[in-house]
Amino acid sequence: MLPHAAVYLGPDGLLLGHNKRMEAACAAHGLGEVPGRLRDFLSAASLKRCEPVLSAALGGVPAQASGGLSLKSGAGFCRQLICTSFPAVSGGGRVVLVQFVSMDNSGPAVPVGQSGLAPLSEAGGAADFLRYFPDDVLIFSEAESPDDKAGRLLELIDTDFEKELLIAALADQDDLPRSLYVPERAENGGSGTAADQSVCEVRLIPIPDLTAGGAPQAVMAILRRNVESPDEIAENRRLAYQDPLTGLENRRSFTRTLTQDLALLSRQAGEGLAVFYIDLDEFKKVNDLGGHEAGDDMLLHVAACLRQTLGDRGTAARIGGDEFAGTVFTGSEEAALRIAEDILEGFDRIHLETGNRVFTIGGSIGVAFVGASLALKKLDASQLIGLADQACLRGKRFGGRSVQVHTVQPGDCTRSGSVATDLPEPDSFRGNELALYAMPIFDLRKNSLFGYEMLLRLQGDRAQGLSSRAWISAAERSGFIARVDAWTLHRVLDAADRNPVRKTLTMNVSADSARDPGFRECLVNRLSVNPLQASRLCLEVAEKDFLREPALVETFFRFASELGCQTAIDDFAGHWPSLSRLTGLRVEWLKLQAGLTQHVARSPEKAAILSGLVKAVQALGLKVVAKHVETAEDAALLKELDIEAAQGFYFGKPKPWSAAGLQ
């Protein structure tokens, strides 16, 4: 099968074998049979040029010599020598495959019947063909039974494959040519299992009788060892288009599916297409605190949520580490928005328990909506995914857990770089670009002002289009949040020092700050100067941080309580993992998640659930703050439920601390 004249050269210089092209080359130059050694036909000068190349090849290093080699007669024999070494089949040393590249690049002509597929009806044709086929070959005559054929095959293949299966496959000669795949034992390169990638392929080919009108008279079985199993090929093809962890489509497959959806959309009247780009919020903390197994479990929960939400209506895919995508045919932007909100609500129901930690997850969703009337000639799948990604990034700039819908316009495909993708680094902001705002907290029992929640806000040109929540999230990811919290703590205590009115001042403390020795030292130093201020300071930690690192938060609350500070859990959602951990926790306040208290007056069922939760919490000796109260009806009902305090736009919007009377 080699394109050049070739010989096997042994370590003693003997030619151990040759191909038909070598025979033809020798015949063309009048040498007769192929000589036994190189020195028998090459000139002395050519032999001298070959010595270093052959020496290197015998040492195991492939080598070649360029320039013509001549015969003893002076005639040119080849223009290049290529030497490739192989371990000797028996004994020590190596053998070298020597290829003589012909002078005219085509090689000497080989007579018909001595290479290639000669007609088998010619005398010696079958023998010549089989001589040059590189694998094991068997010829089955028409008279042989399937049992005999299977027995001959099993003599060549060392396998545990059942003979009956081979007999059944060999009995059917109507569907030829075809291939069988037989697993080999481990010592022959296989593992003996169906899952092994290397098997023996048996290719069954009918041999026509050219003299009898082409009717099959025999079957040739061609054996190829250590080939890839077709099952593995199919599995690899599947994995090429499927995310191996979640089983969702991967980016390549999703792009292909979206391309098909766009083609289908052009033929469907009155229907649009929504493309979702989903970036998980704070997934890194799941990996960092729970380990990669917890991260994988969370991704599986997210994938299950997407399958359940999108259902048969669309396609879900994982296109990056913590990035997902989806596509759904829908009639309007409003319908696409509702689907995205359903996805976020599904994320809210995910609670992953691992050890003593409980992880939750959120996400930012960008939607690119293609209306039914949009001309699709210039749209492609990659551009749509990019538009949805840009919408998602806008949501990230507002702090995450948001949905941004972009209605695709004809000119969108020609614009690029219209959306900023990078957030400013948190530590690049100067002190005069940060400001504290105060939001009033109202005592429902006394019907009077109770205190203020201190909120960090950005100001200045660089803060345009960037929410404080997004900036704080970036500060947490970059490890800068402890310095932000320390800056906030100083300003809050400065306000308390200047204001003689004894109102409670609350501030949020991140898990990183609760862990940071520098933040704790800052707290101790400031309160040691004026210990009475400790009772006015309430330090609150978000429920998600408490669930993720309960031991850390418990230790911090104990530390803060011993200093005389009040403590609170913020965004408390009432889930059992949180309730079960409240016993023995040094905490005075629970600030309820906004969803528990918003519009409660309109829903008797919601009010009943809230009433039971409040009673359970108060039975543990804790006080409750309701958040995001916006109407007088909600405020009145919360008072009837005996909730101690509340905050929200009904009681007052956040104001700069100087305007709130704190400076």
Please spell the DSSP secondary structure of 125-166, one letter per residue: HHHHHHHH-SSEEEEEETTS-HHHHHHHHHHHS-----HHHH
Most confident of 111-125, 253-267, 512-526: 512-526
**Beta-bridge partner residues of 366:** 277, 404
Q: How many CB atoms lie within 10 A of CB 620?
A: 13
* Residue 472 pLDDT: 77
**Would you say 497 and 533 are in contact if contact means Cβ atoms under 8 Å apart?**
yes
What is the enclosing helix (H) or strand (E) of 234? helix 230-240
Across 267-290, average pLDDT? 87
Q: Which of 63, 72, 62 is nearest to 38 (CA)?
A: 72
Split at pLDDT 50, 70, 90, the class of 132 is very low
The predicted pLDDT at position 161 comes to 77
Cα distances from 297 to residues 280, 325, 359, in angstroms, run 14, 18, 11
Burial of 103 (C-beta count, 10 Å sphere; 0-12/13-18/19+):
middle
Pairing mode of beta strands 645-646, 314-318: unpaired
More confident residue, 1 or 243: 243
Q: Report CA-CA distances (Å) from 403 to 7, 87, 318, 407.
A: 71, 65, 18, 13
Helix (DSSP H) and strand (DSSP E) numbers for the chain = 20, 25
| Count of Cβ atoms closer than 10 Å to residue 334 Cβ | 10
Mean pLDDT of the region 11-32: 88
Residue type, 169: A
Q: How far is CA 497 from the centre of its chain?
A: 52
The dihedral formed by the CA atoms of 49, 52, 58 and 60, expressed in degrees to the nearest 10: -130
Nearest one of 40, 39, 59 to 50, comparing CA atoms: 39
Query: What is residue 260's predicted lDDT score, i.e. its pLDDT?
Result: 87
Percent of the chain, pLDDT > 70?
82
- What pLDDT does residue 187 have? 52
Would you state the pLDDT for residue 428? 65
Q: Which of 106-120, 132-146, 636-650 has the lowest mean pLDDT?
A: 106-120
Position 116 pLDDT exceeds 50: no
Angle at 38 between CA 32 and CA 39, to 5 degrees: 100
Closest to 365 (Cα-Cα) out of 267, 429, 250, 279: 279
| Res 585 pLDDT > 50 | yes
Is it the case that residue 207 has pLDDT exceeding 60?
yes
User: Is the model's pLDDT at 525 over the cut of 70?
Assistant: yes
d(CA 324, CA 245): 13
Q: Per mean pLDDT, which of 16-20, 130-134, 143-147, 503-507 is the most reliable?
A: 503-507
pLDDT at 115 > cutoff 60:
no
* Radius of gyration, alpha carbons of the chain: 40
Q: How far lies 265's CA from each of 122, 336, 338, 381, 483, in Å? A: 61, 16, 21, 12, 51
* Lowest-pLDDT choice from 192-206, 523-537, 640-654: 192-206
In this prediction, residue 636 carries a pLDDT of 92
CA distances, 29 to each of 25, 69, 460 (Å) = 6, 13, 90
Contact 427, 478 (CB under 8 A): yes
Starting at the edge strand that comes first in sequence, how are the strands of the sheet with 323-330 ordered? Answer: 314-318, 323-330, 272-281, 362-370, 403-407
pLDDT score at 494 = 83
Nearest to 209 by CA among 280, 274, 120: 120
Most confident by average pLDDT, 65-74, 430-439, 476-485:
65-74
The pLDDT assigned to 475 comes to 74
pLDDT above 90 (res 327)? yes
Task: pLDDT band for 125, please (50, 70, 90 cuts).
Answer: very low
What is the maximum alpha-carbon separation in the chain?
A: 121
Contact 589, 560 (CB under 8 A): no
C-alpha–C-alpha distance, residues 225 and 441, integer Å: 78
Question: Tokens 């408390």 belong to which residue?
Answer: 572
Question: Does 262 score more than 50 pLDDT?
Answer: yes
Average pLDDT, the chain: 81
Residue 596 has pLDDT above 60, yes or no: yes
The pLDDT, as a whole number, for residue 71 is 92
The CA distance from 218 to 149, in Å, is 11
Q: In the prediction, which pLDDT does 238 show?
A: 65
Residue 32 DSSP symbol: -
Residue 416 pLDDT: 47
For residue range 351-400, list pLDDT tens digits in order: 998 888 899 999 999 999 988 766 555 677 888 898 999 888 887 776 67
**Confidence check: pLDDT of 612 > 60:** yes
Which residues, 6 or more positions from 472, have their beta carbon under 8 angstroms from its beta carbon? 399, 456, 481, 484
For residue 138, name the pLDDT band (cuts at 50, 70, 90). Answer: confident
Q: How confident is the model at residue 144 (pLDDT cuts 50, 70, 90)?
A: confident
The CA-based dihedral angle spanning residues 261, 262, 267, 270, taken in that order and rounded to the nearest 10 degrees: 90
Q: Cα–Cα distance between 486 and 513 in angstroms, integer?
A: 8
Kindly report, residue by residue over 405-417, the tens digit of the pLDDT: 888 887 776 554 4
Q: What is the CB neighbour count within 10 angstroms for residue 59? A: 10
Indicate whether 127 pLDDT > 50: no
Looking at residue 631, the DSSP 8-state letter turns out to be: S
Per-residue pLDDT, 133? 45
Domains and CATH numbers, the chain: 5-101 (3.30.450.20), 125-235 (3.30.450), 241-414 (3.30.70.270), 427-656 (3.20.20.450)
Confidence of residue 451 (pLDDT cuts 50, 70, 90): very high
97 burial via Cβ count (<10 Å: 0-12, 13-18, 19+): middle
Evaluate if residue 108 carries a pLDDT over 80.
Answer: no
pTM for the model: 0.59
| Average confidence (pLDDT) over 476-495 | 83
Q: Which of residues 228 and 585 earns the better pLDDT score?
A: 585
- Name the pLDDT band for 645 (thresholds 50, 70, 90): very high
Coarse DSSP helix, strand, coil percentages of the chain, rounded to the nearest 5 percent:
40, 25, 35
- Select from 572, 566, 647 the least CA-distant residue to 616: 572
Residue 131 has pLDDT above 50, yes or no: no
Instruction: Answer whether residue 210 shows pLDDT above 60.
Output: no
